Amino acid sequence: MLVYSEGIKKLRKKILAQMGCAYCQMNDYDKALKNLEDSFKMDTSDKVLLQDLEQVRRLQKAFILKEKGDKSLCDGNAHLDIKFYNKALSMDSILMSSISYRASALFLKEDFMSCVRACEEILLTLSKSQSMNISPKNQVEFGGIPPQGSKER
């Protein structure tokens, strides 16, 4: 068994966490969780990493629900897809693809007022991300996980 110095262990932990975040950005949640879990095993007292793990688990569940909603939308089942999008949003309230697809489903259902409210929700989320200097891409992919190097991380 190889014995690593503390410096190497810290570097390995950091690399695994960063790889986990990169896989999360690519919506590969299985690999993201594997890397984050391996990183967390190296320091189980790391509360920030534990929060990241919990967030990625929520994102994975929300993403699966969003995909089910997408399939229902493609199949023309507007009632079912709205339920999937709402469930996905209950897990990650700023998963903007769920908000926008839900708006599409509401439009197809001819529930125009709800569609307008969903579109307003998208604009509000985008304006908040711009005022906080967060790119919409990071916001969609990571939900509540602050970007690397930020003071909140």
Write down the pLDDT at residue 139. 43
Mean pLDDT for 11-30 is 91
- Which residue do the tokens 């190097």 mark? 149
Does residue 129 register a pLDDT over 70? no
Q: How many whole angstroms separate alpha carbon 32 and alpha carbon 27?
A: 8
**Sequence letter at residue 108:** L
Global confidence as pTM: 0.64
Write down the pLDDT at residue 137. 47
Q: How many whole angstroms separate alpha carbon 136 and alpha carbon 91?
A: 18
Helix (H) or strand (E) holding 60: helix 47-74
Q: Please report the sign of the dihedral spanned by the C-alpha atoms of residue 133, residue 63, residue 152, residue 7.
A: negative
Write down the pLDDT at residue 5. 85
Residue 103 CB-half CA count within 13 A: 14
Could you read off the pLDDT of 66-116 as tens digits, one per residue? 888 888 888 887 777 888 888 888 877 667 777 788 888 888 888 899 889
Write down the pLDDT at residue 72. 86
- Phi and psi (nearest 5°) for 62? -65, -40
Q: How many whole angstroms separate alpha carbon 25 and alpha carbon 70?
A: 19
- Choose among 48, 18, 41, 43: nearest CA to 31: 18
Could you read off the pLDDT of 27-50 as tens digits, one per residue? 899 999 999 999 999 999 999 999
Based on the number of CB atoms within 10 Å of its own CB, is 74 exposed (0-12), middle (13-18) or buried (19 or more)? exposed
